[in-house]
A and B are shown apart, each in its own frame.
Chain A
Amino acid sequence: MKASPKKVIVIPCSGIGKAFGSISRDVTFEVTENLRKETTQTLCLALLVSGDQESLQLVRDNKCITVDGCPLQCAEKNVKYAGGKLAGSFRVVDVYRENRHLKLRSVTFLDADGQKMALAVAERIGKRVDELLRDE
């Protein structure tokens, strides 16, 4: 789980109760496996909070972007609590408010509207990653 100095760590809440949490997870995979796969990576939020030393070091040594489904912002809270370098915080619910025509019905497997929403959030995060790396 080692990161190069230029990696940005993208951490979703992966909340399981609503579609927003599933979207936060898909956003993270879209960024780390597709849009910015060379410059980002993710980690297990639950492992981080359980006190795993390698995960703690990773969020303290690298800039982090959190992706939360809902306004409770559990990923952001937990990264702050772990002493991580929080450099960006995104909420799916905010992007949803700008895209209310998308109907987010499915939690287990994202449908087409859920995937569109995930891509919209992922593109914003990709831009934020570029800004962070330019600043270094």
Chain B
Amino acid sequence: MMAESQEKKVGIVSCSGEGCVEGTISRVATRLVLEKLRPNETVTICLPLFLAGGKEEREFARDYPTITVDGCNKMCAKVATERYSAKPASSIIITALTRDWGCPKLGSRRKLNDEALAVAGKVAGRIAEEVDEVLKRWV
């Protein structure tokens, strides 16, 4: 989680929830954005470190725009970002997207099946679009 002060970077905060497959999808989708879709425009914030009081993480999320990616409607990443830093520029909830997309069989939280991998890819695309929107609004 490093960014030079003058660089335009968007922080992606994934819940990585261990309790359900959507938590794994949030994590994989975030990694796909960082590694493949928008590697030069994004950084990730390690949520456990952020929650444990990570100073650098909290300052970044306060000073730079963030996009939270939550597995379920408990929205732990969004709530924590708001509580400790600032309101995210955008928030994504996987269960809301999969309900809209009609994806009932996402399988194991440990190893994503083909359907879940496809969902992770679509979510990553959605995050990348949000990154572009945030960068467009950046003044």
Contact = CB atoms under 8 A, between A and B. Distances in A.
12 contacts: A14-B16, A14-B27, A16-B46, A17-B46, A42-B18, A47-B17, A74-B51, A74-B54, A75-B48, A107-B31, A108-B28, A108-B31
Contact of A16 (B30, B76, B110): B30
Contacts of B53: 77
Nearest to A73: B52
Given A29-B109, A107-B31, 4 more contacts: A16-B46, A17-B46, A49-B76, A50-B80
Contact of B18 (A17, A28, A72): A28
A26 B23 CA distance: 13
B74 interface: yes
Interface of A: 1, 11-17, 21, 25-26, 28-29, 33, 42-47, 49-50, 52, 72, 74-75, 77-78, 81, 107-109
A46 B77 contact: yes
B1 A17 contact: yes
B16 A25 contact: yes
A25 B48 CA distance: 12
Contacts of B14: 16
Interface of B: 1, 14-19, 23, 27-28, 30-32, 35, 44, 46-49, 51-54, 74, 76-77, 79-80, 109-110
Contacts of B76: 44, 46-47, 49-50
A13 B49 CA distance: 9
* Top 10 closest pairs, chain A to chain B, by CB: A74-B48, A46-B76, A29-B110, A108-B31, A44-B17, A74-B52, A14-B16, A49-B51, A44-B19, A13-B48
Nearest to A110: B111
Contacts of B52: 72, 74, 77-78, 81
B80 A15 contact: no
B110 A33 contact: yes
Contacts of B79: 50
Contact of B31 (A12, A16, A46, A72): A16
A41 to B, nearest CB: 10
B133 to A, nearest CB: 22
